[in-house]
Amino acid sequence: MGVLESVVKQWQLDLSQVVERCEDHGISSGRAMPSSSSNSAVVGGRIRSLRQQQGVSQETLAAPDLSASYLSRIESGSRRVTDRVLVNLAARLGTTAEHLRTGVDPAAASSIELSLRYAELALRSGEPTEAVRRFKAAVSEADGIDRASFKIQAQLGLGQAWEAAGELESALVLFHKVADLAVPGSKSWLDASLGLVRGYRQSGDFSKSIELGENALETLRRASDWPSPDGVRLLSTLQASYQVRGDLHYAKRLAAEAVGLADQLDDRRALASALWNISLLNAELGAVADAVATAERALALLSEIDAERDLVRLRIALARLYTLDDQPGEALRMLDRTETRVQDLGITSESAYWRLERARALLQLGSLDEAEQNAVAALDLLGDAPRAYAADALLTLGNIAWAQDRSDVAANYLRRGAQALTAGGSGRTAAQSWAVLGDALDAVGDVGGARDAYRAAATNLGLITALAPIGQSRPSAPTGAGTPSEQCDGDGGNGG
């Protein structure tokens, strides 16, 4: 060894001893890994195991900037390794610092990251069946890796894929798992919480949806960064659940808060979400013209940002508002402009909503056979489980059958729709549906059935109300505009 090399080596060994002395007294030469002593022992054990597998001595691995004794203490867990030292040791061992920290093999990590990217691409491209297949594979892959973030990402994605495919029960199971695994307040936790609030609302369990939403909102309100765009998203989602349950005054309060926060944050997406739900609430309260104007403002905001699925959903919702405003021709024109995008998305729920709104507009125009075809197609897509969406399709079919003078068929559809809403705890909307059924049954002479239907309406309202005179005219569709199928949760297409 030359004189110069000898001096350099001695200087490097002396420097490593200085590093050791500093760290012995709590002075770090680099940013130490924020972990406990037990984690330090795990990391040190991985370093020792890889070194021994490669037949490398401590002196060789430590050189040129560490001493063998210092490396020995790292391997035993008595010395907490700094980020700089960990990166250097990883390079000498032919691995990554992340591998030494987590134990996740770099090749395995790269493989699952690629699997997740392909699955997410399928979901964004409107291929829920393919997304389910790919996310299932990613979940299995993640189970073999000791890294929570991969498990959370894979399970959350699978839940969103199941939701897009219309399998709410499967989606809810996974959203619950992620909400339990993820750190409260994190993005994954919020996405899972939104999925739960949205999913229980879509399945008709409004009370559960509201309970989970209020708990999540309380968590966000306690966060240091409140108010936040995430908070507006959750407020809008929760408002939708209160609205479809019939708690319109509290829904209006939450909607006003969401709009105020979105304005304060100057967040276009959040503001569009809040305005969208305000429009539906206005329609529910009878101010349909105001609802249309507000929805058109929300549509203009969404058109300025990358929110393809929200744009599709808002256009379908706007078609609903046009129908309520006695503009069925405008509703059909809006739906026609949206048809290609709905097909491109390939998401079951959106296809069903599009069909259902087309059926409503056609019913108002008197095109009963075509209206029935679209409503049946919507119900086939949704399934007739007791969920709010399917109930909406059943009620629409009931009104179509009534307009076709098929009273018995109409009564059957209306009864099934009202039962589905009642099973979900939808007080006000279910009460409206039972009252419409009562009118229909009374009109065909089924006095006992009509009385039972009115009793069910009163029960859903929680009191005995004065009902409109029965038998005066054919019943019309329930006028509530804020059904779950048109609500915006402001989450950019994760099964809103």
What pLDDT does 313 receive?
85
What pLDDT does 257 receive?
92
Helix axes 328-345, 308-324, angle to 10 degrees: 160
Query: Which of 48-57, 248-257, 331-340 bottoms out in mean pLDDT, i.e. has the lowest?
Result: 48-57
Query: Which of 33-37, 220-224, 346-350, 468-472 bottoms out in mean pLDDT, i.e. has the lowest?
Result: 468-472
What pLDDT does 58 receive?
86
- Which band of pLDDT confidence, cut at 50, 70 and 90, is reported for residue 327? very high
What pLDDT does 462 receive?
58
What pLDDT does 13 receive?
44
394, pLDDT greater than 70: yes
- pTM passes above 0.85: no
> Is 153:112 a contact under the CB 8 Å cutoff?
no
Q: What is the mean pLDDT of residues 448-458?
A: 78
What pLDDT does 171 receive?
95
What pLDDT does 158 receive?
96
- Which band of pLDDT confidence, cut at 50, 70 and 90, is reported for residue 323? very high
> Is 235:261 a contact under the CB 8 Å cutoff?
yes
42-101 pLDDT, tens digit each: 888 888 888 888 888 888 888 888 888 888 888 888 888 888 888 888 888 888 887 777
Contacts 24+ apart (CB under 8 A), 250-257: 251/281, 251/482, 252/281, 252/285, 255/281
What share of the chain in percent tops pLDDT 70? Answer: 81
Structure tokens at 432: 């409206």
6, pLDDT greater than 70: no
Domains defined for the chain, CATH in brackets: 3-103 (1.10.260.40), 383-485 (1.25.40)
- Which band of pLDDT confidence, cut at 50, 70 and 90, is reported for residue 34? very low
CB-facing half-sphere around the CA of 100: CA atoms within 13 A: 31
369, pLDDT greater than 90: yes
- Which band of pLDDT confidence, cut at 50, 70 and 90, is reported for residue 111? confident
Full DSSP string of 130-166: HHHHHHHHHHHHHHTSS-HHHHHHHHHHHHHHHHHTT
- Which band of pLDDT confidence, cut at 50, 70 and 90, is reported for residue 14? very low
Q: What is the mean pLDDT of residues 239-245?
A: 87
What pLDDT does 45 receive?
85
Q: What is the mean pLDDT of residues 359-374?
A: 95
16-27 pLDDT, tens digit each: 455 454 544 444
118-149 pLDDT, tens digit each: 999 888 877 888 999 999 999 998 887 767 88
356, pLDDT greater than 90: yes
What pLDDT does 170 receive?
94
Structure tokens at 343: 């097909």
Structure tokens at 196: 């739960």
Cα-based torsion angle of the residue sequence 466, 469, 475, 480 in order, rounded to the nearest 10 degrees = -30
- Which band of pLDDT confidence, cut at 50, 70 and 90, is reported for residue 387? low
Structure tokens at 479: 């006028």
What pLDDT does 165 receive?
82
For residue 357, give the 3-state DSSP assignment.
helix
For residue 489, give the 3-state DSSP assignment.
coil
Full DSSP string of 363-405: HHHT-HHHHHHHHHHHHHHH-SSS-HHHHHHHHHHHHHHHHTT
C-alpha span between 342 and 348 (Å, rounded): 9
What pLDDT does 277 receive?
83
- Which band of pLDDT confidence, cut at 50, 70 and 90, is reported for residue 194? very high
For residue 191, give the 3-state DSSP assignment.
helix
468, pLDDT greater than 70: no
What pLDDT does 147 receive?
74
What share of the chain in percent tops pLDDT 90? Answer: 29
8, pLDDT greater than 60: no
404-439 pLDDT, tens digit each: 989 889 888 888 887 776 765 556 666 777 777 777
* Helix boundaries (H) for 64-205: 68-76, 83-93, 97-102, 106-124, 128-143, 148-164, 168-181, 187-203
